[in-house]
Structure 1
Amino acid sequence: MANILVVDDEMGIRELLSEILGDEGHAVQTAENAQQAREIRAAGAPELVLLDIWMPDTDGVTLLKEWQRDGLLTMPVIMMSGHATIDTAVEATRIGAMNFLEKPIALQKLLKAVQQGLTRGQETARASATPLRPVLLPVEEQRGLHASPSAPIASTVAHVTSRPAMQGVHQDTHSFNLSFDLPLREARDAFERLYFQHHLLREGGSMTRVAEKTGLERTHLYRKLKQLGVESNKLAKKGE
């Protein structure tokens, strides 16, 4: 069904995950350290990576940062660890990991996380293949945007998305301009903040439904919202 890479320095973990995922019909590659994982990734992107955090040569978080830096983080990554702290899990999520599994990994949690990861990867691939439709603004508004290229991303996004949907464009489509003068981390955090605010308002503040929509575990969703400073209770009241 899918090509999955398992990266873990413990042979028993690699063999167990390979057996479980193989029984589910997946093709599984394994790596016992970061260097082997780099080589496998260089040969072609797997559809999903299960990545251990604590490894002897290079830890999983550092490898995740490398892939992000080099533009190689094009597949969903699920982090694994039996000793990681909450801060480590939050950092991995901020860098780009989709989920975090605590060892020993429960079978149902593993299969659910893998399925969510593969679904997210397929959605991302479809979105990348869909050409973007430009939003044409009145000349006055275009001049205003060009005159202030470093305007805060939040105000720019709110300004454009608040306009009525254009004819022929689906109501749920969000098109916006971004200021490329912002540092990457600030731009990403601003987008994620608006992303989660949108879903919280849309789902009336229901964390369960937002978790399903965004493909995150509830625990990681709470951490992400706290990290971004998004107050779900206030948004729930606004959506009522």
Structure 2
Amino acid sequence: MAKVLIIEDEEGFRRQLELGLSALGHEIRCASNGREGVDVGARFRPDLVVTDWMLKDDIHGLHVIQVLRAILTHLKAILITGFASAELRENADSTDIIEFIEKPFTLEQIRSAVENALAAPCQPRQRASLAAIEITTQGEIRHANDAALDLFDETEPGRGIHNFFGLFSAGAEPNLAEALDRWEVVHPTADHRLAWHLRTQEPDEDGNRLVILRRGDGPQYIGLPLIEMLLGSISPQYARWPFDGRVVIVEADATTRKWLVTMVENAGGGCYAVESVAQAMRLLGKDDGLQFAVLDYDTVGAGLPSAIEELNAIRPDVLLVGNSADDRREAFVRLGVNLFLQRPWRADDLINLLTASIGN
């Protein structure tokens, strides 16, 4: 029997998957969005995650897989999508997705995919990139991953320790409340001076919490977005996006698409980048959470008037933004698009433009 985590925001579809996979004898947990998927996955520690890509919050399916893989090196993954763009397939391949399933599909297809994924050999990976432990209110260690056990080996108590606070001498135990929103330096007992950097989160409803540890002499910036996402405490450095809705960007160049997605996501926003208006319209028809669309003049070309007309017909609630390397502001205004960004633009430029427009 394997442990399988299902992440799907459509309740009926999620329930169907749960019942169908439970019949195979697996232990199933479910989550309704990306944030819940990270929280459940970090504690459930599944063998396999089955997740929709397009989830109705700013943490999409690939985000969940990347975050959980940082602490669970054995994790296998199946990605479900109704929008299989070339970039998504490429990102899925780079994330070692075992199965990539397009909607619609049958229950037998998903069952077969799950069994094939579980039977597939694990990809050889390095140790977990983040040292993570789960502890109770009293400090009892419920789980420590391989990276955390490696850190424990450097201490006097060693990896056989059962209580987290036992790693420290009396009076030197960390105050976890101080590590909720900043890194705390702690010193476990060892035969040499040893420093760790520690972050944690508020306890869950059962009184358990995750603790992340890093060597004091190691790189301090690598993996920070993953840690913030894992702990559910996105810092202002990564969370400037003030809107509930997400943005879709139409851009022909693949490298530019990747850069734009990274830039918006680092600002805390949800972002899709596609190479054509047709793909954008498919997304807008499927995702009610999309609130903004950025259209590149050079990508759309002579079809810009009809593209804007079609987008307005499908989703009149979506705010359109023109975009070009040249100043095409007047061309967009003549077509009823009053917002414009000239390339290159930053996430702050988009945020300020949208904020001013919505405020007016």
Q: TM-score range by the shorter chain?
A: 0.3 to 0.5
Q: Normalising to structure 2: TM-score of the pair?
A: 0.32
- Structure in which a larger fraction of residues adopt strand: 2
TM-score calculated relative to the size of structure 1:
0.47
Higher RCO by CA contacts (8 Å cutoff, separation 6 or greater): 1
User: Greater share of helix residues, 1 or 2?
Assistant: 1
The structure with the larger Rg is 2
